[in-house]
Chain A
Amino acid sequence: MSDSPRFLDIKRLYHAAVELPPPERAAFLDQACANDQALRLEVESLLQRKWNLCCNTTGPATATFSITRP
């Protein structure tokens, strides 16, 4: 299993930025991705509110599946 260092950077920056109050994220990313605009765009895309609405990480997370007969 060989992980992508790039992806692990994205994950690390996401973790760091998501812990910050939203107004402080831009400045953090300015510094962390100074020379890498693509990296910044990727992290910013993940930080969008619509992907982060429900952040309950403790509850049960079992997949529920449905069988539908039209």
Chain B
Amino acid sequence: MAAPTPESREEITRLLEAWGKGDKAALDALIPVVHRELRRLGRRYMQRERTNAVLQTTELVNEVYIKLLDCSRVRWQDRAHFFAVAAQLMRRVLVDLARSRRYAKRGGEAIRVTFEKVLDMPDVHAPDWVALDDALKTLEALDGRTSQMVELRFFGGLSVEEIAEILQVSPQTVHRDWRFAKTWLRRELTRGQEV
């Protein structure tokens, strides 16, 4: 995709504003644009990095945000909502990349996409995105809000205050649920592993 022009940036900013005011069609128009840009960026990183690379999801989401939008015009509430959508799409992009690389071995060279540091525990083996995605699906069926919170934090890098605003709960609730979610995920992702 060619670099967004000032006109397209203005258009995307307008879509975000409209969605913030309740226009659902604007969101439907926004999603494919953001998805495409995240996927393109993710692939570019995969191809460009010759050696091992460590990347942050927030960097990617931020890069897309700066590229697609006229940031000076975006209200902070709209910014938070953009990151919420981008977090969801980031998750999908990474899982797709991890899945496609998991089985595609070329010349005996497999590319592993694992996530690191995410659970702050050095002794937990880093599971891959597919394992995290599966655990989040389980969590989603049990407790939708907590699962969404993990998504916003892991994949969108949103702050506690921004998440509280999006989920319409208190920051204290976000802190508590986040603590629970990390504990639960650590246990879930290390099932069958001796820690």
Asked if residues B121 and A53 are in contact (CB atoms below 8 Å), the reply is yes
Asked if residues B52 and A57 are in contact (CB atoms below 8 Å), the reply is no
- The closest CB in chain A to the CB of B62 belongs to A62
Residues of chain A at interface, number, CB under 8 A: 31
> Contact residue range for chain B?
35 or more
Asked if residues B120 and A65 are in contact (CB atoms below 8 Å), the reply is no
A66 within 8 A of B: yes
A62 proximity list for chain B (CB < 8 A): 56-58, 153-154, 157
A69 proximity list for chain B (CB < 8 A): 50-52, 109, 111
Q: Which chain B residues (38-73) contact chain A, with CB distance < 8 Å?
A: 45-46, 49-58
Asked if residues B58 and A65 are in contact (CB atoms below 8 Å), the reply is no
Contact surface of A with B, Cβ cutoff 8 Å? 1, 3-4, 7-8, 11, 14-15, 18, 45-46, 50-58, 60-70
A-B contact pairs, 9 of them (CB 8 A): A4-B141, A45-B187, A46-B183, A57-B178, A58-B175, A60-B58, A61-B154, A66-B116, A69-B51
B45 proximity list for chain A (CB < 8 A): 67
B114 within 8 A of A: yes
Interchain nearest-CB distance for A5 vs B (Å): 10
Asked if residues B184 and A3 are in contact (CB atoms below 8 Å), the reply is no
B21 within 8 A of A: no
Pairs of residues from A and B, 6 with the lowest C-beta to C-beta distance, nearest first: A1-B144, A7-B142, A54-B120, A62-B157, A62-B58, A63-B154
CA distance A45 to B66 in the complex (A): 43
B154 proximity list for chain A (CB < 8 A): 61-63
Contact with A along B73-84 (1 / 0, CB 8 A): 000000000000
CA distance A49 to B109 in the complex (A): 39
A60 proximity list for chain B (CB < 8 A): 58, 157
Contact A65 to B153, CB < 8 A, known contacts A4-B141, A53-B121, A58-B175:
no
Q: Considering residues B175, B176, B177, which has the most beta carbons from chain A within 10 angstroms of its beta carbon?
A: B176
